[in-house]
Amino acid sequence: MRSYGLSEIRAINGKYSMFHAMTEEEPSEGRFHFSAKDNLTSKGMETCSGSRILEGYRPAFDATSIERMKAAGGELIGKTNMDEFGFGTFSTNSGLEVPRNPFDLERACGGSSGGSACAAAVFEDHVSLGVSTGGSICCPASFCGVYGIAPTYGRVSRYGLIDYGNSLDKIGVLSSKATDLRKYIGVMAGKDERDPTSCAQPELGDSHVKLGSVAVPMEGVEGLSKDVEAAFRSALVELERMGVDVEYVNMPSLKYAMPAYYVLATSEASTNLARYVGMRYGQQEGDLSLKFDDYFTSFRSEYFGDEAKRRILLGTFTRMVGFRDRYYAKALQVRKVVIDDYKRVLADHDAVLAPTMPFTAPRFDDISKMSALDSYKADYLTIPANIAGTPHMSVPCGYDSDGMPIGMQFVADHWNEEVLFSIAEDWEREFELRRPEVVA
Ligand code: GLN
C-alpha cells in the first residue's frame, strides 16, 4: 500500500489544491489514508464547507461517516475543497481554494466534490468521501477520471454533514479503484440513531451480480459534445460485447428534473443557511455595537459568496406564500413523476445508463464566462437520479482528444447498490484507466 508522508502531501497539495485543512501530524504507517469533503465535520480538523463564513470552525465531533472510516482503520489526511456549501458544478464557487484538474491544471475538477475527485485521482491507494445533492460525486468523478458512487438516500448517515438540501444529500465514495466502492460504502452504511433520515435498510449484498440489461434514455443522449458522444457509443459496444443487452427507452420526465431540482434544493438550502449569522460557528468578529439584525446582515453580506446569496434569494422566493404552490409544491410533484419513471424502467432493466456530463472538464477561463444558468444546465444528466434518491455511479469510459477523462453514469433501483458495485468491478477489468502524471 502506497503511503504518503506529511511533506509529500503538502507538496502535492501545493500543486493541486485538493485540500483545505490537512493533518498536522505525520500519517501513521499501516492505516489506510482517506480524505473527506469539507462539509463533513471532523473532530479537531477545520471544517468550512468551502465557505469563508465557517473559517476557523473546528468541530468537537466526527461525522458518523468519518467516525466509521476511522474505526475501520482509516486515517483522515485532509478535508477536500468544494463549492461553497455544495453550490456548484466546478468547485469554482469556493470561498477558499479551488482544486485543479489532475489531467490539466488549467481546468476544473468538477463539483461540488472537486477536491475529493482530485485526491482520488492523484494519490495512490486513496479513498475520498464526497457528498452529492444533485450530482456532486458523479460530475467530479467523471471530470477527474475516477469511480464515484452516491448510494441510496438514507443508506449512509448524514449526522455531521453540513446540510445543503436535507432531502437530497447523500454521502458516497470516490476512488480510482472500483473495488473501493463496495468496501467503503459497506464501512459507512447502516442506520444511525443520531440521524433520523438514515434508514433501517436492506443489507448491502456482497455477491457479484452480472449486469443483464441497461436502458439508455433518449433524453440522456441529447446535447452531448462530440467526444463524449463517441466515447459513450463505444462504451455501449463494449458492454454489448460483455453480454449486456442495451435498449433505448423514453423517460419523458427527465427534462423536468433539472428545474424542479433547483427549486427544491434552493428552498432547502435557504433555510439551512439561516444559522450562519456570526454567532455560533467559524467567523465571529463582527461589529457588536450594531443592532442584532444589522449585525447578522453585515456578517452575511461580507462572508457569503455570490452563489450562496443567489440561492438564498431563489429559495426564499420559491417558498414564499403566494408562490410556493406554483414552485415548491409543483417541484415536489415533478419529483414523484421522475421516481415513477425510474421505477417503470428499472422494472425491466438492471440499470439506466447515460453519459455523466455532457462535456469534459472545462477550462477556468471558459467557466468564468458562463452564467449561473449555464452551469445549472450542465447538471441535466446527474440531477434526475438525485431527486429520485436512487443509487448512481460514474465510471470512467474514455478520454477526449485533449486526453481529458469522460464518464458514464449507471442508475440502479433503490437499495440495489450491489448491481452498481458489480458493474464497476467488471468494467474495471475491461477498461484501461489512465492515471494522471503527478507533479509535486
Ligand atoms: N451542481 C448542483 C448544484 O449546484 C449539484 C451540487 C451538489 O450535488 N452539491 O446544486
Q: List pLDDT tens digits, range 388-433.
A: 999 999 999 999 999 999 999 999 999 999 999 999 999 999 999 9
Listed as ranges, residues in the chain with pLDDT below 70 are none
Please give the single-letter amino acid code of residue 89: T
Residue that the C-alpha cell 467503503 belongs to: 184
Q: Which of 40, 83, 91 to mutate to test the pocket of ligand 1 (most atoms within 8 A of CB)?
A: 83
Q: Which DSSP helix (H) or strand (E) runs through 227?
A: helix 226-241
How far is the C-alpha of 401 from the C-alpha of 295, rounded, in Å? 52
- CA pair distance 291, 293, nearest whole angstrom: 6
Any ligand 1 atom below 6 A from CB of 391: no
169 ligand 1 Cβ < 6 A: no
| Whether 439 contacts 14, CB under 8 Å | no
Among this protein's residues, is 136 annotated catalytic?
A: yes
37 in catalytic set: yes
What is the model's pLDDT at position 199? Answer: 94
Tell me whether residue 112 is one of the annotated catalytic residues. yes
Atom of ligand 1 nearest to the CA of 382: 5
Domains of the chain: 6-253+333-430 (3.90.1300.10)
| Residue (of 243, 212, 172) closest to 392 by Cα position | 172
Q: Which of 3, 35, 37, 394 is catalytic?
A: 37
In the prediction, which pLDDT does 286 show? 78
The residues facing 410 across adjacent strands are 353, 393
Output the residue whose Cα is nearest ligand 1's atom 5: 134
Helix, strand, or coil here: 421? Answer: helix
Query: What pLDDT score does 161 carry?
Result: 98
Phi and psi at residue 332, to the nearest 5°: -65, -35
Residue nearest to atom 4 of ligand 1 (CA): 88
Give residue 220's pLDDT.
93
Q: What is the pLDDT of residue 423?
A: 97
Query: How much distance in Å is there from the Cα of 285 to the middle of ligand 1?
Result: 30
pTM of the model: 0.97
Is 379's C-beta closer than 6 angstroms to any atom of ligand 1?
yes
